[in-house]
């Protein structure tokens, strides 16, 4: 079953604007990861945030995690047309679960030039 | 080049036929995973393996089978028992101990049942 739920399902913005995507989950996690998928391709790992972290940055990416609300957000600042892709959150419950990832439904981001 | 490869990129199958999708990695990763992705949706776990000669069912294992005879290889067979096999199949791998916890994905195989 899909644990993660993401919103919005689709987001269309202009180049230079910021894009924010949200993810909610249901069970306890060891870490939460964000992945990007270009159309028809495999997924690429973007960033990982552990359950004891609240915020993490990587270049133009900023991820927050609120374990009390079981939610995370991904912010892409100063977006570019090349950021157009689907973005997925994935929760990892740890080694006791076989280090499985449970993916959300994804947010389709379109950045217009 | 190090990485994870899947073949073929596109695969067509007639109803009632079994078909095997290939997944190979030369990253020396311990665990390997198979996911199914339907249009506009997220990934669902079919099977995973943490060690050679051992594997576990994921959330949607019915109609699929796997083997893990070598660390580098984790082929997926889509059997005739899978009622709706047309989908995009993704293979992934990761290091288990001391790794970064991220999964590395192959480019995917798009299976179409005619």
Output the six-digit token pair for A58: 């990587």
Q: How confident is the model at residue A1 (pLDDT cuts 50, 70, 90)?
A: very low
The pLDDT tens digits for A4-52 are 678 899 999 999 999 999 999 998 999 999 999 999 999 999 999 999 9
Q: Is residue B101's pLDDT more than 90?
A: no
CA-CA distance, B108 to B80, in Å (whole number)? Answer: 21
* Residue of A57, A58, A68, A74 lying closest to A25 (CA atoms): A68
Across the interface, whether the CB atoms of B92 and A2 are under 8 A apart is answered: no
State the nearest Cα–Cα gap between A106 and chain B, in angstroms. 6
CA-CA distance, A7 to B62, in Å (whole number)? Answer: 30
In this predicted structure, what is the pLDDT of residue A3?
Answer: 54
Contacts of A47 in chain B (CB under 8 A): none
State the nearest Cα–Cα gap between B29 and chain A, in angstroms. 13
The single-letter DSSP state of residue A54 is S
Express as a percent the part of chain B with pLDDT over 70. 98
The single-letter DSSP state of residue B53 is T
The pLDDT tens digits for B8-21 are 999 999 988 999 99
> What is chain B's Cα-based Rg?
13
């Amino acid at each position: 079953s899909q644990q993660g739920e993401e919103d919005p399902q689709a987001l269309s913005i202009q180049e230079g604007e910021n894009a924010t995507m949200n993810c909610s989950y249901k069970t306890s996690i060891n870490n939460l990861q964000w992945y990007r998928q270009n159309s028809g391709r495999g997924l690429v790992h973007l960033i990982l945030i552990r359950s004891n972290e609240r915020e993490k940055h990587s270049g133009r990416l900023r991820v927050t995690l609120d374990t009390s609300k079981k939610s995370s957000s991904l912010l892409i600042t100063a977006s570019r047309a090349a950021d157009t892709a689907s973005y997925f959150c994935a929760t990892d419950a740890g080694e006791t679960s076989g280090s499985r990832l449970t993916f959300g439904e994804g947010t389709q981001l379109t950045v217009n030039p | 080049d190090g990485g994870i490869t899947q073949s073929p990129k596109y695969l067509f199958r007639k109803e009632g036929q079994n078909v095997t999708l290939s997944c190979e990695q030369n990253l020396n990763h311990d665990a390997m995973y198979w996911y199914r992705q339907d249009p506009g949706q997220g990934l669902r776990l079919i099977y995973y393996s943490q060690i050679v000669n051992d594997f576990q069912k994921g959330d949607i294992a019915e109609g699929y089978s796997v083997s893990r005879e070598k660390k580098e290889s984790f082929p997926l067979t889509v059997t005739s028992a899978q009622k709706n096999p047309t989908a995009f199949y993704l293979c992934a791998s990761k290091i288990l101990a001391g790794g970064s916890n991220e999964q590395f994905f192959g480019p995917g195989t798009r299976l179409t049942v005619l």
